Amino acid sequence: MKQAVVKKEDEGIRLDRWFKRHFQSFRMSELNKCLREKNIKVNGKKSECGYRVCEKDEILYPDTFGQDKSEEKKAVSAKDRAWLEAMVLYKDRDILAINKPCGLAVQGGSGQVRFLDALLDGLDMGTGKRPKLVHRLDKDTSGVLVLARNQLAATWLTRLFKERDMHKTYLAVVSKRVKAGKGVINAPLKKAVVGGVEMVVVDKENGLPAVTEYEVLDACDEASLIRFKPRTGRTHQIRAHAKYMGHPILGDVKYGKHDASKLHLHALEIEIPVGEKNIKISAPVPDYMVETINRFGLNQGGEK
């Protein structure tokens, strides 16, 4: 095992960001596994990715952590590489954006065998350079996921996400009729365990600020089609806010009920500011959501 002491300039960043900053061959899947197996400790105790490090914290980690494992790069089959490349929505020298399907986890965790972070070598697009994760989508949320193609772009994009300079739009089908129009949900959120299940709940006294704009595009008695625009980036924010409205997203077992086979939440569009212009990237709505929208006779354009 090796030990490192957190320096003043790193104080306040998340533990996963600390590892990403200090290990050239950092992989989130490796970090998650080490944390899960208690092979990484902070001040002698088990820790989590979201822990904010403090100056002089002592971080203990395996001496093999972060080593470039060439055999892992060979693990992406030609079939998986073609599958991944078919997801690509946009690419330039710095940015790669894909249309992540519902059911594909972005990072490894408990019970996750197949996830995007372990497959990213298959998205080198012939450069031999593995793209980097700069944000996440829930496993069952489909749509636009942005990746960085180099370290400089990763730093830039991470800052944009952190400072909320990215404009993200989600499309969701929620239960029952929502009153037509636009609105803003301003309801602080906090992680909690409810009935033995870890989730996010509204807590106006102790929760972190969470704000979501919404627009009802169309509605019927059984369901409504809504466009959500989060102003903040809390875990499960849209799902928790939809439940708070009294209209959980279809297929959201954690925040609603098993009323559809898949979660009907799609990251529809993202705008990335580049100089004086914005790069706008959109992902087509998945077939299962289109089928539901058509079955209820809803109009995505918001007009009858």
- Compute the distance between CA of residue 285 and CA of residue 274 in angstroms, rounded to an integer: 26
Whether the Cβ atoms of residue 197 and residue 256 lie closer than 8 Å to each other:
no
Q: Which of 14, 12, 9, 55 is nearest to 35 (CA)?
A: 14
Whether the Cβ atoms of residue 73 and residue 80 lie closer than 8 Å to each other:
no
Q: Which of 187, 241, 246 is nearest to 214 (CA)?
A: 241
Which of 117, 138, 140, 252 is catalytic? The answer is 138
- Compute the distance between CA of residue 59 and CA of residue 61 in angstroms, rounded to an integer: 7
Torsion, Cα of 96, 101, 102, 103 (10° steps): -90
Helices (H), 148-245: 151-162, 237-245
Per the annotation, the verdict on 138 as an active-site residue is yes
Encoding tokens for residue 255? 């925040």
Give me Rg for the CA atoms of the chain.
Answer: 20
- Compute the distance between CA of residue 271 and CA of residue 191 in angstroms, rounded to an integer: 28
Beta strands in the chain (DSSP E): 2-5, 41-42, 45-46, 58-61, 88-91, 95-100, 132-133, 142-148, 167-175, 181-186, 189-194, 197-202, 211-219, 223-230, 265-274, 277-282
Q: Collapsing DSSP states into helix, strand and coil, what is residue 150?
A: coil
Q: Which residues are catalytic?
A: 138
